[in-house]
């Protein structure tokens, strides 16, 4: 998938999930390490938002999931404290997923 295909799909996901306008601002590489191990590494797309009541920015990415990685899951994290950067957006997302996993397991 090319960046020309990827960014519009993320943009639509943000607009649909958060009911606001989204314009791509930048791509930020993030490498999150915990206890000396890589727990997440990838590109976070930063979008400026218009029409959202609380957030001015959103951090977004996608990853494969499901049977044979056939599905795609969009992750969107609004820049509302404690989220203040792409790095903190990844941390909050990891923490959220960890808590969901603990409840389901």
What confidence tens digit (pLDDT) does each residue in 44-80 have? 999 999 999 999 999 999 987 777 767 788 999 999 9
Q: Is 10 exposed, middle or buried (0-12, 13-18, 19+ CB in 10 A)?
A: buried
Distance CA 6, CA 48 (A): 17
Whether residue 4 is predicted with pLDDT greater than 70 in this model: the reply is: yes
């Amino acid at each position: 998938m090319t960046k020309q295909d990827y960014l519009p799909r993320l943009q639509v996901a943000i607009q649909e999930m958060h009911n606001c306008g989204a314009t791509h601002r930048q791509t930020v590489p993030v490498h999150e390490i915990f206890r000396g191990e890589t727990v997440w590494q990838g590109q976070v797309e930063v979008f400026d938002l218009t029409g959202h009541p609380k957030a001015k920015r959103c951090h977004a990415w996608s990853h494969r999931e499901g049977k044979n990685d056939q599905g795609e899951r969009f992750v969107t994290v609004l820049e509302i404290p404690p989220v203040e950067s792409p790095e903190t957006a990844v941390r909050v997302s990891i923490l959220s997923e960890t808590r969901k996993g603990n409840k389901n397991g």
